[in-house]
């Protein structure tokens, strides 16, 4: 194969697991020619550990990992010998025959002093002769079949005078005083694998070699996108459909005879070279072998079990049958439930037998079940080969340096770094956060919200798109106004939220959660393409800086640096306006997330710093404080606003989150609408409710459980101490009967104590929203 490709003019890399290139039975002259070819680079002692897109192969060498991008890849990965499954097949001394033969041939190590070979193919007889020639005594060959093939090797074995049993199978390996093999009990077996264990026969031995079949090493081929089918004739999976540039050859391809394998290699080599642009493809397709090298069911029951299928995971036949009985009766489910094939050998010795057991259980052919694809790395790879540069992309807003200069204490938020709070000398963390909250409530505060997702949608169908992807209605939103939007998935679960602003008849600008921006944008692109709407989406998340400038003094201060008329009559609550802020083109949205008069200011990223500086300078006379994520959490919690993903979970629908006000059920369609109708009819499983605790009570933690009559009936999702309210407040997901205002609940904290709390109406602060709407002190 490598020679054929090299002779066509291609540069060839040959990765071989063996320490030395042996050719695996190939003529010596051929091996020498490969070694001597200037166009062939040998990678000895190298494992192809994974195959990725675009012919990218990970080559694990003894000292390094080579990432090889090839023009074409030929998989001549061979077959892996499979064990027989019988009682005590995990004893030391039970071995694969090919392993024993290799030990003897390469290292002159005898597998035992008295050996029994379990046979189901010609390889068993060849191994017998090899071992005999090296002085190893073979006591018996126990052939599962009624008649082995006619072959010189079989005749030669018979001539040795050793015990040769046919239609017999291993019933039980016997344990000696040292815990190793002391003998093998064998019993008659029928063609369909039924063992008659009523009168087993003992054969004394100290090693049991198994030569009952092979599994094609197709995993790398599958990783490369190839597909296989199960060949009943060969009792193995064989390639059927290869993606461009991927080729299979040799025994993995179902071709076993040496001459045929050589021809198949030449065919695959020339095809690979041609695909890579060298020479033309030649060589006819080689017929697959007609002699079956594998037994169809080398698995034998025993009343006392201990017949192991997966040696990594200690799985016996009964474990797999029990899994199938439990309903995990596909190859994928069986793997995940039983963990078969999940050990270090990645199922090399267990997957095939597990499939056979599953097929028997279901009464179907193995071909009906299919093979799972192992994840890379297919072989265990030393950690040292994976060491290297590690990249952890981190996003920083344009004002990152300003935050640092102001004493920001950083916290991760998705892949962003954000100020948790701004440390002030002489203040504790709690004092700083408290002061930041107080500044917003009493005067003015400024927070960098540039991490919010920011998306524009243009075009005649932009309103239609938003009406379909958000639960609310946006086609009737007036130009110059904003509206809160709730995004659901198909099952009606809340997945994101944000503010949608209409900047033109066919132009919207909207925000998403910080963590959801990429996902939302990608999903909207997909849906837009799927629905064929005439609109265009633009993700400007990183290209726009954004700030929330909030507090009762915010309007007066902001007016100093903007040409936008901020008076209520010109710029009412929930309006959006465009204009200049500190000389930069800006979009201003009057929102109320923190519960005060406030403006979200969006400018081009490159202008972010100067706008931040200008706002800080203008606010300084009125004791402006920048505030971080922690203060914002307190502020929003005082207003009872939930955070998607924190106060909601993967099952929370708008009804449970008390957010049906943001849902327009009368719309013809939106994602999640149908599920929401079903969920509404069923009634909520849980309800998000406000809770309050006495100011003197210890503060529970988020995720502490709510207990009622000894049962778990909910959990705390957010909690904080509110200086403005002089009590502790929070949100909790409760069973519906508990989520009634005034209801007393108990929260179990870390030390097991139960804290008393009460369900309370939210918002906790300024419940009529007068401060954010009117902008005056309530």
Partner 1 sequence: MSVVSLELREKRHRLGLKGPRAAEWLAAQGVELPMTPNTWTQSEGTGAADALLVARLGSAEFFLEDGTDGTALERISPSLDQNPPGVYPVLREDWAFHLGGDGVHDVLAQVCNVNFAALSLDSRPLIMTLMVGVAVLVVPQSAGGGGQGTAATRHYRIWCDPTFGPYLGESLGAVVIECGGRYTGVSG
Cβ-based nearer residue to partner 1, 45 or 503: 503
- d(C-alpha 680, C-alpha 642), whole Å: 20
- The site map against partner 1 for 406-445 (x = CB under 8 A) is ----------x-----------------------------
523 binds partner 1 (CB under 8 A): no
Among residues 310, 312, 400, 600, the one that binds partner 1 under rule CB under 8 A: 400
Cβ-based nearer residue to partner 1, 392 or 669: 392
391 binds partner 1 (CB under 8 A): yes
Residues written for the chain: 778
573 binds partner 1 (CB under 8 A): no
Task: Provide the minimum distance between the beta carbon of 529 and partner 1 in the complex, in angstroms, as a whole number.
Answer: 12
- Of the listed pieces 251-259, 397-405, 555-563, 616-624, which binds partner 1 according to CB under 8 A? 397-405
669 binds partner 1 (CB under 8 A): no
Task: Provide the minimum distance between the beta carbon of 403 and partner 1 in the complex, in angstroms, as a whole number.
Answer: 13
397 binds partner 1 (CB under 8 A): yes
- d(C-alpha 395, C-alpha 536), whole Å: 26
Binding to partner 1 in span 351-380, by CB under 8 A: none
Among residues 13, 411, 481, 540, the one that binds partner 1 under rule CB under 8 A: 540
- d(C-alpha 596, C-alpha 636), whole Å: 10
* Closest residue by Cα to residue 492 from 643, 641, 680: 680
Task: Provide the minimum distance between the beta carbon of 64 and partner 1 in the complex, in angstroms, as a whole number.
Answer: 14
Map 277-292 to HEC letters: CCCCCCCCCCCCCCCC
- Of the listed pieces 276-284, 287-295, 425-433, 536-544, which binds partner 1 according to CB under 8 A? 536-544
Question: How many of the other CB atoms lie within 10 Å of CB of 173?
Answer: 24
Among residues 25, 177, 344, 389, the one that binds partner 1 under rule CB under 8 A: 389
- The site map against partner 1 for 479-508 (x = CB under 8 A) is -------------------------x----
- Of the listed pieces 385-393, 491-499, 547-555, 654-662, which binds partner 1 according to CB under 8 A? 385-393
Question: How many of the other CB atoms lie within 10 Å of CB of 578?
Answer: 13
241 binds partner 1 (CB under 8 A): no
3-class secondary structure, 217: coil
- d(C-alpha 219, C-alpha 216), whole Å: 8
* Closest residue by Cα to residue 433 from 281, 629, 565: 629
- d(C-alpha 777, C-alpha 595), whole Å: 11
Task: Return the beta strands (E) in 254-360 as ranges.
Answer: 308-310, 315-316
Cβ-based nearer residue to partner 1, 68 or 643: 68
- d(C-alpha 757, C-alpha 748), whole Å: 11
Kindly state the tokens that stand for 21. Answer: 């290139």
Task: Provide the minimum distance between the beta carbon of 388 and partner 1 in the complex, in angstroms, as a whole number.
Answer: 8
- d(C-alpha 576, C-alpha 378), whole Å: 55
Q: What is the DSSP string of 540-572?
A: -TTTEEEEEEESTTHHHHHHTTB-S--STTTS-
Among residues 197, 293, 398, 619, the one that binds partner 1 under rule CB under 8 A: 398
Cβ-based nearer residue to partner 1, 537 or 660: 537
Kindly state the tokens that stand for 713. Answer: 């009936």
Task: Provide the minimum distance between the beta carbon of 54 and partner 1 in the complex, in angstroms, as a whole number.
Answer: 9
Map 408-476 to HEC letters: EEEEEECCEEEEEEECCCCCCHHHHHHHHHHHHHHCCEEEECCCCEEEEEECCCHHHHHHHHECCCCCC
56 binds partner 1 (CB under 8 A): yes
Task: Provide the minimum distance between the beta carbon of 377 and partner 1 in the complex, in angstroms, as a whole number.
Answer: 17
Task: Return the beta strands (E) in 23-102 as ranges.
Answer: 40-43, 47-52, 56-60, 65-69, 73-75, 79-81, 94-96
Strand pairing category for 207-211 and 201-204: unpaired
Among residues 392, 478, 709, 711, the one that binds partner 1 under rule CB under 8 A: 392
Task: Provide the minimum distance between the beta carbon of 452 and partner 1 in the complex, in angstroms, as a whole number.
Answer: 12
Q: Are 234 and 254 in contact (CB under 8 A)?
A: yes
Cβ-based nearer residue to partner 1, 55 or 356: 55
Q: What are phi and psi of 653, to 5 degrees?
A: -105, 170
Cross-sheet strand order for the sheet of 181-188? 168-175, 181-188, 201-204
- d(C-alpha 568, C-alpha 382), whole Å: 67
- d(C-alpha 284, C-alpha 265), whole Å: 11
Among residues 162, 333, 411, 604, the one that binds partner 1 under rule CB under 8 A: 604
Among residues 407, 458, 491, 697, the one that binds partner 1 under rule CB under 8 A: 458
- Of the listed pieces 8-16, 22-30, 386-394, 492-500, which binds partner 1 according to CB under 8 A? 386-394
68 binds partner 1 (CB under 8 A): no
- The site map against partner 1 for 196-235 (x = CB under 8 A) is ----------------------------------------
394 binds partner 1 (CB under 8 A): yes
Among residues 257, 456, 649, 708, the one that binds partner 1 under rule CB under 8 A: 456
Task: Provide the minimum distance between the beta carbon of 242 and partner 1 in the complex, in angstroms, as a whole number.
Answer: 23
Among residues 277, 606, 761, 777, the one that binds partner 1 under rule CB under 8 A: 606
Kindly state the tokens that stand for 55. Answer: 């012919």
- d(C-alpha 171, C-alpha 174), whole Å: 10
544 binds partner 1 (CB under 8 A): yes
Among residues 274, 605, 660, 697, the one that binds partner 1 under rule CB under 8 A: 605
- Of the listed pieces 207-215, 565-573, 603-611, 650-658, which binds partner 1 according to CB under 8 A? 603-611
Cβ-based nearer residue to partner 1, 107 or 389: 389
Q: Are 440 and 596 in contact (CB under 8 A)?
A: yes
- d(C-alpha 589, C-alpha 584), whole Å: 15
Name the strand (E) or helix (H) holding 246. Answer: strand 246-248
Cβ-based nearer residue to partner 1, 132 or 609: 609
Cβ-based nearer residue to partner 1, 56 or 337: 56
Cβ-based nearer residue to partner 1, 389 or 666: 389
- The site map against partner 1 for 142-171 (x = CB under 8 A) is ------------------------------
Tally of CA atoms within 13 A in the half-sphere of 36 that contains its CB: 6
Site for partner 1 (CB under 8 A): how many residues? 30
542 binds partner 1 (CB under 8 A): yes
534 binds partner 1 (CB under 8 A): yes
- d(C-alpha 623, C-alpha 631), whole Å: 16
Q: Are 93 and 208 in contact (CB under 8 A)?
A: yes
- Of the listed pieces 182-190, 394-402, 463-471, 522-530, which binds partner 1 according to CB under 8 A? 394-402
Cβ-based nearer residue to partner 1, 268 or 399: 399
3-class secondary structure, 532: coil
Name the site residues for partner 1 (rule: CB under 8 A).
56, 67, 69, 389, 391-398, 400, 416, 450, 456, 458-459, 504, 534, 536, 538, 540-544, 604-606
């Amino acid at each position: 194969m490598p020679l054929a490709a090299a002779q066509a003019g291609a540069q060839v890399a040959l990765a071989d697991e063996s320490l030395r290139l042996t050719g695996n039975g190939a003529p010596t002259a051929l091996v020498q020619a490969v070694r001597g070819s200037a166009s062939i680079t040998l990678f000895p002692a190298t494992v192809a550990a994974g195959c990725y897109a675009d012919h990218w192969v990970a080559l694990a060498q003894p000292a390094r990992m080579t990432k090889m991008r090839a023009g074409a890849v030929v998989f001549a990965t061979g077959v892996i010998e499979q064990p027989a499954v019988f009682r005590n097949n995990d004893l030391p001394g039970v071995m694969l025959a090919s392993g024993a033969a290799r030990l003897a041939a390469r290292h002159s190590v005898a597998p035992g002093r008295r050996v029994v070979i379990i046979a189901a193919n010609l390889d068993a007889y060849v191994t017998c002769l090899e071992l005999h020639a090296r002085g190893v005594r073979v006591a018996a060959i126990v052939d599962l079949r009624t008649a082995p093939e006619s072959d010189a090797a079989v005749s030669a074995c018979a001539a040795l005078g050793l015990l040769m049993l046919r239609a017999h199978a291993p019933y039980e390996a016997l344990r000696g005083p040292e815990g190793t093999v002391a003998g093998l009990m064998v019993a008659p077996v029928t063609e369909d694998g039924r063992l008659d264990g009523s009168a087993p026969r003992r054969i004394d031995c100290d090693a049991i070699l198994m030569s009952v079949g092979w599994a094609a090493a197709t995993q790398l081929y599958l990783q490369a996108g190839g597909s296989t089918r199960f060949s009943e004739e060969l009792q193995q999976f064989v390639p059927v459909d290869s993606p461009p540039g991927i080729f299979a050859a040799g025994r993995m391809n179902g071709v076993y005879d040496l001459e045929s394998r050589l021809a198949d290699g030449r065919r695959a080599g020339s095809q690979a070279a041609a695909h890579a642009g060298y020479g033309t493809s030649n060589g006819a397709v080689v017929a697959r072998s007609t002699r079956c090298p594998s037994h169809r069911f080398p698995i034998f029951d025993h009343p006392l079990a201990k017949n192991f299928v997966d040696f990594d995971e200690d799985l016996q036949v009964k474990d797999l049958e029990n899994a199938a009985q439990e309903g995990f009766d596909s190859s994928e489910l069986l793997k995940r439930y039983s963990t078969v094939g999940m050990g270090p050998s990645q199922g090399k010795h267990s997957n095939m037998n597990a499939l056979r057991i599953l097929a028997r259980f279901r009464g179907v052919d193995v071909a009906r079940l299919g093979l799972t694809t192992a994840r890379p790395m297919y072989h265990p790879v030393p950690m040292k080969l994976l060491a290297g540069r590690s990249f952890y992309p981190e996003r920083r807003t344009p004002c990152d340096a300003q935050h640092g200069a102001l004493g920001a204490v950083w916290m991760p938020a998705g892949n962003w770094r954000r100020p948790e709070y701004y440390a002030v000398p002489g203040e504790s963390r709690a004092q700083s956060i408290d002061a930041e909250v107080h500044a917003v409530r009493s005067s003015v505060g400024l927070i960098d919200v540039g991490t919010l997702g920011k998306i524009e949608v243009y075009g005649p169908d932009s309103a239609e798109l938003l009406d379909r992807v958000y639960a609310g209605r946006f086609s009737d939103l007036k130009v110059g106004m904003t509206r809160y939007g709730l995004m659901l998935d198909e099952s009606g679960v809340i997945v994101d939220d944000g503010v949608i602003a209409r900047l033109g008849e066919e132009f919207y600008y909207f925000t998403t959660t910080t963590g959801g921006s990429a996902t939302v944008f990608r999903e909207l692109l997909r849906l837009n393409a799927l629905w064929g709407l005439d609109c265009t989406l633009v993700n400007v998340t990183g290209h726009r800086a954004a700030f929330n400038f909030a507090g009762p003094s915010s309007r007066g201060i902001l007016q100093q640096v903007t040409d936008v008329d901020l008076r209520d009559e010109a710029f009412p609550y929930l309006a959006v306006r465009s204009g200049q802020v500190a000389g930069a083109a800006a979009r201003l949205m009057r929102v109320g997330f923190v519960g005060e008069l406030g403006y979200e200011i969006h400018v081009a990223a490159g202008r972010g710093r100067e706008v931040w500086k200008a706002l800080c300078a203008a606010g300084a006379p009125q004791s402006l404080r920048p505030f971080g994520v922690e203060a914002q959490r307190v502020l929003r919690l005082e207003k009872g606003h939930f955070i998607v993903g924190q106060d909601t979970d993967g099952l929370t629908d708008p009804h449970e989150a008390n957010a049906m006000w943001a849902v327009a059920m009368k719309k013809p369609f939106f994602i999640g609408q149908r599920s929401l109708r079903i969920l509404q009819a069923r009634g909520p499983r849980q309800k998000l409710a406000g809770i309050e605790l006495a100011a003197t009570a210890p503060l529970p933690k988020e995720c502490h459980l709510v207990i009622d009559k000894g049962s778990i009936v909910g959990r705390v999702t957010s909690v904080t101490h509110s200086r403005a309210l002089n009590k502790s407040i929070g949100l909790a997901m409760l069973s519906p009967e508990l989520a009634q205002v005034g209801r007393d609940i108990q929260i179990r904290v870390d030390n097991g104590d139960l804290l008393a709390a009460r369900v309370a109406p939210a918002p906790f602060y300024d419940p009529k929203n007068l401060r954010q709407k009117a902008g005056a002190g309530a």
